Structure 1
Amino acid sequence: MFEKILVANRGEIAVRVMQTAKRLGIATVAVYSDADRAALHVRTADEAVHIGAAPVGESYLDGDRIIRAALDTGAQAIHPGYGFLSENPDFVEKVEAAGLIFIGPSSKAIRAMGLKDAAKRLMERAGVPVVPGYHGDTQALVALAAKANEIGYPVLIKARAGGGGKGMRLVSDPNAFPEALAAAQREAKAAFGDEHVLVEKYIQTPRHIEVQVFGDNHGNAVHLFERDCSAQRRHQKVIEEAPAPGMNEATRQAMTEAAVKAAKAISYSGAGTIEFIVDASEGLRPDRFWFMEMNTRLQVEHPVTEMITGIDLVEWQLRVAAGEQLPLAQEEITATGHAVEARIYAEDATRDFLPATGTLHHLKFPARVDGAALRVDAGVTAGDTISPYYDPMIAKLIVHAGSRTAALEALATALEATEVAGSTVNLGFLARLARDEDFVAANLETGLIGRKQAALTTMAPPLARHVASAVAATSQRPEAGHEADPFSGISGYGHFGAIAHRRVLQRGDETISASVTARPDGALSISVGDDERTRPIIVPRGDAGRVARWPGHVTVFERADGLTFQVPDPLQMAGDAAAGDRLSAPMPGLVKLVRAAINETVKKGQPLLVLEAMKMEHTITAPHDGVIAEIATEGAQVNDGATLVRFEE
C-alpha cells in the first residue's frame, strides 16, 4: 500500500479521498489555488502545495505543476478525484512517465471511452446495446441536420467529450436545429476544448440508470449494482439513489452483465460507471436499455453505492492502484436497503438554477435523522466562500434506510434541518422534490423536474411570523462580534410606558416595517405592517426561532427554505438602484455572444446576449420593450451585479 498520495482535486471529493487515506494510514498532500488557500481540503491534508491562480487553467488543470508537487513532496501516487484531470489520458501518461502511479484506469481505457462517438462504436462491437443515432465525424450543419431528420425528431445534440449536461441540447423542431447546434458546439468548446458533437434519438420516457463497475490489473471485473439518476435538471443530476426503483431481476441481470462486458472490453482497472438510457414507458425491461457513455472515474454519487454495499470505493481504488486484486468476488458483493443522495448547491432554483456565490456565514447540518443512517460529504465549513471559479456544490446529504419510502422521508427531514445563510441555495427545491408525489411513487423519468419546475422551485412568501422572527433577531441585543453598534439592541425603557421602536427590513424590492415593543418579561411584542389593528406577535426573550444573523442580513429558516431579509442601514437608505432601466449580471461570467446593438428597439423576452458562467451558457433576455442605450462588449469579463444592458429612459 502507498505511504503518501497527492489528491489532485478540491472540495468535497478531495476531503472524501483524504478521509479514507487517513483511515488506512496513508499521508495526504493537497494542492490549492489562490482562491483555496484556506479551503477545507487544504486544512484536512497533511501537507499542501500552492499551484497557481484561481482560474482552473492556471491551477487545477495544470498537470505539470501537480506532478511537480507530487514529486517535491515524495508522494507515490496521484488520486484525481472527479472532474479536472480525472479523465485526461495525456495527464495519466505524464504521471506514469514521472515514475508516479495514477489512481485510476489506464490512459488507453480513458481514450477508448473518452469520446462518446468512438465509445459507442466500440460498445457496438462488444455486443452492448447502443442508442440509435449518428456518431460519425461529420460536423457540417447540413449533414447533421440531415442525420437528425433521418433519426427522427426529437433528437439530442451532445458533446462527444465530457458530460454534466454541458454541450447538450434537446431539439424537437427541425427549424430550431441550427441555433441549437451552434449553442451546443460553443458550450462544448468552452467546457472541453472540443466542439465535436453527436446526434441521438431522444427517448420520450427516459430513465437514467447507471451501473458501478470495478476492475483490477489481474483481469477481474465486477459490478456493484445500479444507481438511478433520473432526477435531473438541465441534464445534471440532482438526487441519486440505489438500487433503481422498480428494478426487476431480469433487467438487473441484463444491465449489469452488459456493464461488466463493457468494462472487460477495454481491460478496465479501477472504479468506473457505465451509464444507460432506459425507455421506461413500459416499465424496466431487459430489451429497453442502451449504452450512453462510460465515466472512467469515481462518480459524485458513489456514496449511495457505498451505503447499500458497505464497501469503501476509495479504498478499493487505492488497493487496485497499488497492484492488489479486487477484495471481493462478484458473488460476495451484496446490497441491502435503500440509499438516496441529494446535492446541495449554491444556486437559485427560482431563477432557472443560476449558480450563486457568496460567503457561507452560517452552515449547519443535522447530526442524525430518525430511522436512517445519515452521511454528510461536505467540501466547505462556515465562513468559507463559494467563488465563481469552481463548481458551486456545498455538500451532499446521503441517507440509508430499510426501504425507499423510509429513505426519502429521512432525506426530506435532513434537508429541512439543514441551514445555510450567506448564499442562495437549493435546499427548498430538494426537499420539495423528495416529497413530490410522483417522485415518491417512483414515477420517474428525466423530464420530471422540468415538468414540475414551477411547483418545485416556488417558495411561499414570508408570513408575519417570519417577519417577526427576523425583526426579533435584529432587535434583541446580538451576540458579540456580530454587530458593532452598541445601540442595536432595543431598550424598553420609557417614562410613561414601554417605547415602541420602528424596524425596517427589505426583501427584494419590498420594504417591510414593524413596530417593536419590549415587555417587562423581556419578550418582544411585534406588530408587522402599518395597520395598528394588526394583532402583535409575541417573541419570547432570546427565542427568535431558527434564524441566522449575518452582516447586513438575517435569514429565517422555514423547513428547508431560507427566507433572507436585508437589514438596511438607516443612514444609507437610498432609492432602488435597479430602476428598471438596466440589466445586471446575475453572476460573474464572460459575455460570450451579443445579439443586440445600441439604439436597437427590442421586445420583451428577446435574447440580448449570452453570458457564460461556470462552463454553462445563460441567455439574458429583455425584461420589457425598449431601446438599448448601452450593452456589454462581446468577450468582456463581468462581475456579479455589473451592468450588462441599459435602456433609454
Structure 2
Amino acid sequence: MAQSVDYYRNNPLIHRDRRLSQSSSAWARSFACEDLKPLIVCRGPIRKEAMDVYEEMGISHYGILLSEKDSIVYPNALAPELRQLTDSRRVHRVPDYTGASKEERVERIHQIIQIAKDNGYDSIFAGYGFMAEDEEFVGAIEKAGLTFIGPNSRTQADAGKKDEAKRTALEVNVSVTPGINNVTARTLLKKHPTRAKLLALADAEDLNIDPALLKDEKLPVEELADAILYASYAKGIDLYSIEEMSAQVQLEVADMFKNYPGSRVRLKAIGGGGGKGQRILGASLLMTKSPTDKQIAEAAAEAPTMVREVLNEVKATGVGDNKNVLIELNIEQTRHNEIQLLGNGEWCIALGGRDCSLQMHEQKLLEISVTQEGLAAEIEKAKAAGLSAQVKALESDLKVLKRMEEESERFGKAVGLDSASTFECIVDRDRHYFMEVNTRIQVEHRVTELVYSLKFTNPKDKNDFFIVESLVEAMALLARHKKRLPRPERIPRFGAGAEARLNATDASLSPHAGGMIRYWSKPLEGEIRDDQGICLPNPDTGMFMRYKVAGAYDSNIALILTKGADRRDSYEKLAEVLCKMSIRGTDLGTNLEFHYGLVNWFLGQNVMAKPTTRFVVPYLTLVGTLKEEANKLDPVFAFLEMKKHYAKLIGEAFADEPEVVKAELKNISEVLDRKGTLLTRPMERLLEDPHLLSGWLSINRRNFRIDDGKLVWLRNPLVILEETYEYLNMSYDPQATAAEVIWDHDNELLQKGLRFYAALRDKFKLDKEDYFKLNETLGKDKAPKGFSAAEWEQVRSAHFGFEAGLELIGMLFLVGVNTNFWDFRVEDDLEVTIPGYLNDPDLQARMKKVLVPPPATKADEIVAMCGGMYYGQEAPGLPHFVHEGMHFEKGQALYIIEVMKMFNTVRAPFSGTIDKILIEGADGTIVSKGQPLFKITPDEKFVEVDPRELERERRARTSEYLKAIL
C-alpha cells in the first residue's frame, strides 16, 4: 500500500516517492504508470510541476516542448527547467506554441503530434496553457493513436466551448447566467431567415450535415442554423462576416440593456480562457434605472469594437473559425467561486471550492480554499463569539457551496469528464450561476491539493488503498488506467490553503514585461513556490542564474502557496512569506508589495470577508489616494519641527522642576537627535510604498483614536514601532545589509526602551497590552509603593524620554484619516463596503497615474505607456487609428499595445495634432516603455510645476499634520 507523505517542492526536508510499483499491495501496483511516456507541451510552473511529479511516479521517458519565441524575441528567457532536464534528446523545439493564425495552429498541432511519434511518446500533457482546451488538438491526438492527459475530445466539445457548456448546463438543470449563447446562429438567420433558405444554403455550399437533421421538420430553426454553422467550420468557410456578427451582437446587447436596466453586459469569446477574450460594456448605464433609447444606443455602439478585440485575443478571426461570442448579463455584486472536479467518464467527484474573486483584467490574483469542513468550523467559531451576522453569512456560503458541488458533479457526468476540470460559478449572496467549465487543470489547483487528498480503495478490500495528493498525478493515473480507477474518497488534509500569484506588474497592476531577475531569496520552510524552476541554481556553480521575464505569454512569475489550520492561519503564513521574500533585478516590476499589503488588509479586517470581483480596482484607487496624500508629507521636516516643539515645551513646562529632573530632561534633546533615523526610516518606507502603508494601516486600525482633533494612542507607540520594523522586514539582523534593516544604534535605543517598559510591566504585574493602566500610573506625581520620590521622578522622566518623538508615527494614521481609508471595510455580515467615489472611472484613472506616473516625455511627443507589441489598427484590414497631419481629441484611441496576452487600447491623454509617426515596422513591432511613438503638437501648452512650490506645499501640509499629533 502506497504511503501518504506530505509533499512540497523547494523544501529539502520533505520528498515523496509516488511510485505505486513499489507498493506492497498487488492491487495498488496494478495502477503503476511507469510505462507512460508523456510529452509536456505547456510552459510555466505547470511544466516544472509535471516534470517533478512524473519523475516521482517513476516515469522516466518524458520530454518537453520549447518555443523558440522564448529565447529569440526575449533573450535570456530560456526555460530554466533545462538546468534540471539536461538530456537534449528530450527537449523539442517549435517556432511558437500555437501559431499566430488558424493555419499556423493546425500546422503546430501536426508538428507536435509528429514530434511525439518520432520520439516514442505515447501521450501528451498540455497543463493549463495554450491548447489544453483545444477540441481540435485533442481530437487530432486521439486520431493519431496517442493519449491526451486531460479531458477527451467529446468532453472538450460539450464543456470546453462556452456556448456548448451553457447548453449542456441547461439540459441537466444547472443554474446559468442570463444571456445569449447563439449569436452566430442568429446572425445567420438574419441573412437566411427561414428553414427553406437555410436548407438551400446548406445545399449550395455542399455542407456535410447529418441527413436526419435536415429532414427533421420539428427541429427548431436556430438549432438547424447551428448545425449548418458547425458544418461550415469543418469545411473551413465563412457563412457570415465579422461585421455582420458584430451588428447582431450590437442589437442583442441593446436588448439586454433594455431588459436589465442599470446593468452592464459581458462579451465572452467561446474559446477564451485565463482572462482572454472578455470585455464588459455599458459602464455609462450602470445604476441607470430607466435609460433612454439614445443612452442604450450609445452604450451598445461599443459592441462591434469589443467583438473584434475578443476575437483577436483568442485568434478566432480566420476564415472558417467559430466566432461565436456569449452575451451575458454582468452580475455586478459577484464573487468568483469554482469547484475542482475529477472524473473517469463514469464517476465524477467534487473536491471543494476556491474563491478567486480577487482579480483584475479578468486575471486572478489571490485564491483561497473554500470547503464544507472549513466553513462548518468557522460557523462554530462565530457562534461561540456571538457573531450572529457572520454566522448567517457563513451558513449561506455553506449552502451555496453544497449546491455548487452537487451541480458540478452532475455536469461532469453529463459531459463524460474523464480527467481534471474546473466548474466555475459566479456567486451573488445566496445565489449562484454556472459560468463555464475549464476542461483542464487550473493554475490554482494546488490550493485544492492542500485541503484534500484522494483515497482510492480496492472495492474488494477496504483496507487496501493508496493515497494521491497531486492532481497532476491523478490525471496521469486516469489517462493510463481510465475506468479501472474506482471513485475516490476525498480526505481532508489542512484546514485552508491560499495562493498569491506573483506577477510581472507595476504598482498599478499593469503588466511590466521584460525585467531581469538577478536575485531571489530562498523559500521559507513551509512555503510552496511554483516558479518554473527560476530558483534552480546553476548546476555547476550553485549560484542563482539571472532570468528574463518574457512578455510573450502571461505575467505570472510564480505561484506562492501556504497552508494552515484555518483561513487566518494560512493568511498569516502567507503574510510572513511575502514579508521575508526579496526579489531584485533590472527594470523589474512585480506585485509582491501589492500582495503583502492586501493580505494584511484582510488580516486587519476579517479573513472570512466576501470580496467581489469588483474589489481590486477601487482598492487600488484607495491605495492611490494614500500615495497622493503621502506625497504631500516630509517626515524629516516633521522631525525637525518636532524637535523645536520639544525644546520649547521643555523650556517652559519644566523650569521649576527639581534639579534631578532637569538634568534628565536636558538629555531629551540629545535623545531626540538619536531617534531621527529610528523614526523616519520606517516612516519613509511606508510613505514611499502605499501598498505597504495600506496593510500597516489595516492591522493597526484599532491602535489609535481621534479626540477633539488630536491623535490618542491606544497601545504603546514604542511597541508599535517595533512591530512596524518587523512588518517591513527591517528587524535587526547583523548579517543583513545595513540599508535593509534597523541600524545598530537605533536598535540599541529601541531595545533599551522596550526593556524599560517590560520591567515596569513586571513591576506592576501588567499585561503587554495594558498600556492605559501603565500610562495612567506613570502620570501620577506621587511615587507608588516600592519607589522613592527621586526614583519615581527618574522613572517618569525616562518614560517621557522614551516616548518623546514617537508621536511622529501618528502622522501615518492621519494619512488614513484624511483619505477616509477605513471607510473601505468589511461589515459584520462579511460583505465589503466600497465607498461609491472609488468607483469613479476618472478618479480610478488619475490614481493609476499617481501609483505609476507616466513615463517621462517631452511636450511635443507621445511615448509608449509600457513595453509590448505595438498595433496601429484595431484589426487587420481596418484603418489605422492615426495618420500624420490628423487632429485627435482627448480620449481618442491612438494605438493598441499587447502585453502578456492582453490587448490594451491606449487613448490620448489630451487633444492635439499628429505631426509625425515615429514607430517603424509593421504591426507586432516590439516597443519599450517610454519609447517615442508620435511627434505631436498639443492644443494647449504644458506648464511645468515649480519644484520649490511643491516643497513649500509639502511643508505646509506636514505642519498641518503636526498640529494633530503634538
Asked whether the two chains share a fold, i.e. TM above 0.5, the reply is: yes
Secondary structure of 2:327's partner?
strand
Task: Pick from 491, 504, 517 the counterpart of residue 346 of structure 1.
Answer: 504
Provide the rounded CA distance (Å) in 2 between the counterparts of 1:540 and 1:313.
Answer: 43
1:212 aligns with 2:374: no
Task: Pick from 170, 173, 192 the counterpart of residue 280 of structure 2.
Answer: 170
Equivalent residue runs for 1:66-81 within 5 Å: 66-81=112-127
* Deviation (angstroms), 1:55: 7.0
1:455 aligns with 2:622: yes
Provide the rounded CA distance (Å) in 1 between the counterparts of 2:323 and 2:36.
Answer: 41
Alignment-mate amino acid for residue 344 of structure 2: D
8 Å CA contact retained: 1:608, 1:622: yes
Secondary structure of 1:83's partner?
coil
Deviations 1:371-430 (A, max 9, x none): xx3211111244121122221211000000011112112112212222222321111111
Secondary structure of 2:738's partner?
coil
Aligned to 2:523: 366
1:544 aligns with 2:830: no
Aligned to 1:428: 593
Farther off after superposition, 319-328 or 124-133: 319-328
8 Å CA contact retained: 1:376, 1:398: yes
> CA separation of 1:332/1:399 partners in 2, compared to 1, >3 Å: closer, same or farther?
closer
Provide the rounded CA distance (Å) in 2 between the counterparts of 1:200 and 1:268.
Answer: 25
Secondary structure of 1:214's partner?
strand
1:200 aligns with 2:328: yes
1:136 aligns with 2:301: no
1:376 aligns with 2:376: no
Task: Pick from 899, 904, 909 the counterpart of residue 613 of structure 1.
Answer: 899
* Deviation (angstroms), 1:291: 0.7
Provide the rounded CA distance (Å) in 2 between the counterparts of 1:439 and 1:390.
Answer: 35
> CA separation of 1:546/1:18 partners in 2, compared to 1, >3 Å: closer, same or farther?
farther
Secondary structure of 1:595's partner?
coil
Alignment-mate amino acid for residue 261 of structure 1: R
Secondary structure of 1:259's partner?
helix
Provide the rounded CA distance (Å) in 1 between the counterparts of 2:366 and 2:132.
Answer: 23
Provide the rounded CA distance (Å) in 2 between the counterparts of 1:105 and 1:451.
Answer: 38
Identity %, equivalent residues: 30
* Deviation (angstroms), 1:206: 0.3
> CA separation of 1:141/1:125 partners in 2, compared to 1, >3 Å: closer, same or farther?
closer
Alignment-mate amino acid for residue 233 of structure 1: M
Aligned to 1:32: 66
8 Å CA contact retained: 1:132, 1:151: no
Aligned to 1:145: 253
Aligned to 2:367: 240
> CA separation of 1:48/1:347 partners in 2, compared to 1, >3 Å: closer, same or farther?
farther
1:121 aligns with 2:167: yes
8 Å CA contact retained: 2:884, 2:914: yes
Aligned to 1:590: 870
> CA separation of 1:332/1:183 partners in 2, compared to 1, >3 Å: closer, same or farther?
closer
Aligned to 1:494: none
8 Å CA contact retained: 2:344, 2:478: yes
> CA separation of 1:398/1:181 partners in 2, compared to 1, >3 Å: closer, same or farther?
farther
Structure with greater helix percent? 2
Equivalent residue runs for 1:423-502 within 5 Å: 423-437=588-602, 440-456=607-623
Task: Pick from 253, 262, 287 the counterpart of residue 402 of structure 2.
Answer: 253
Task: Pick from 83, 90, 94 the counterpart of residue 48 of structure 1.
Answer: 90
Aligned to 1:294: 437
* Deviation (angstroms), 1:326: 7.7
Aligned to 2:913: 627
1:99 aligns with 2:222: no
Farther off after superposition, 201-210 or 260-269: 201-210
Aligned to 2:926: 638
TM-score (norm 2): 0.52
8 Å CA contact retained: 1:5, 1:76: yes
Alignment-mate amino acid for residue 251 of structure 1: V
Secondary structure of 1:304's partner?
helix
Aligned to 2:700: none
8 Å CA contact retained: 2:870, 2:895: no
8 Å CA contact retained: 1:240, 1:341: yes
> CA separation of 1:393/1:180 partners in 2, compared to 1, >3 Å: closer, same or farther?
same
* Deviation (angstroms), 1:434: 1.3
Aligned to 1:557: none
Deviations 1:19-70 (A, max 9, x none): 1101011022111122446412333335533322357517998222222222
Aligned to 1:315: 473
8 Å CA contact retained: 1:82, 1:297: yes
Alignment-mate amino acid for residue 255 of structure 2: K
8 Å CA contact retained: 1:228, 1:242: yes
Segments of structure 1 that go 5 or more residues without pairing to the other structure are 466-509, 511-538, 548-575
1:400 aligns with 2:567: no
* Deviation (angstroms), 1:332: 4.3
Farther off after superposition, 392-401 or 242-251: 242-251
* Deviation (angstroms), 1:145: 2.8
Aligned to 2:416: 267
Aligned to 2:822: none
Farther off after superposition, 187-196 or 132-141: 187-196
Aligned to 1:7: 40
Alignment-mate amino acid for residue 227 of structure 1: R
1:581 aligns with 2:581: no
8 Å CA contact retained: 2:180, 2:328: yes
TM-score (norm 1): 0.76
* Deviation (angstroms), 1:239: 0.6
Alignment-mate amino acid for residue 32 of structure 1: L
> CA separation of 1:377/1:60 partners in 2, compared to 1, >3 Å: closer, same or farther?
farther
Alignment-mate amino acid for residue 868 of structure 2: P
* Deviation (angstroms), 1:300: 0.2
> CA separation of 1:435/1:181 partners in 2, compared to 1, >3 Å: closer, same or farther?
farther
Structure with greater strand percent? 1
* Deviation (angstroms), 1:636: 5.2
8 Å CA contact retained: 1:77, 1:101: yes
Deviations 1:188-216 (A, max 9, x none): 33324154322111212101111111111
Secondary structure of 2:50's partner?
helix
> CA separation of 1:542/1:182 partners in 2, compared to 1, >3 Å: closer, same or farther?
closer
8 Å CA contact retained: 2:281, 2:302: no
Aligned pair count reads 537
> CA separation of 1:109/1:141 partners in 2, compared to 1, >3 Å: closer, same or farther?
closer
8 Å CA contact retained: 2:339, 2:353: yes
* Deviation (angstroms), 1:160: 2.0
Task: Pick from 371, 385, 397 the counterpart of residue 548 of structure 2.
Answer: 385
Provide the rounded CA distance (Å) in 1 between the counterparts of 2:608 and 2:69.
Answer: 43
Deviations 1:265-311 (A, max 9, x none): 0111000000011112xxxx3xx111100000000000100011132
* Deviation (angstroms), 1:540: 9.3
8 Å CA contact retained: 2:264, 2:280: yes
Deviations 1:578-602 (A, max 9, x none): 4243223211213143433323344
> CA separation of 1:182/1:606 partners in 2, compared to 1, >3 Å: closer, same or farther?
closer
1:21 aligns with 2:21: no
Alignment-mate amino acid for residue 99 of structure 2: G
Provide the rounded CA distance (Å) in 2 between the counterparts of 1:195 and 1:65.
Answer: 25
Asked which structure has the greater RCO (Cα within 8 Å, sep 6+), the reply is 2
Alignment-mate amino acid for residue 364 of structure 1: S
Alignment-mate amino acid for residue 39 of structure 1: A
CA RMSD for the aligned pairs?
3.0
Provide the rounded CA distance (Å) in 1 between the counterparts of 2:178 and 2:498.
Answer: 31
8 Å CA contact retained: 2:65, 2:94: no
> CA separation of 1:52/1:584 partners in 2, compared to 1, >3 Å: closer, same or farther?
farther
Task: Pick from 302, 306, 309 the counterpart of residue 183 of structure 1.
Answer: 306
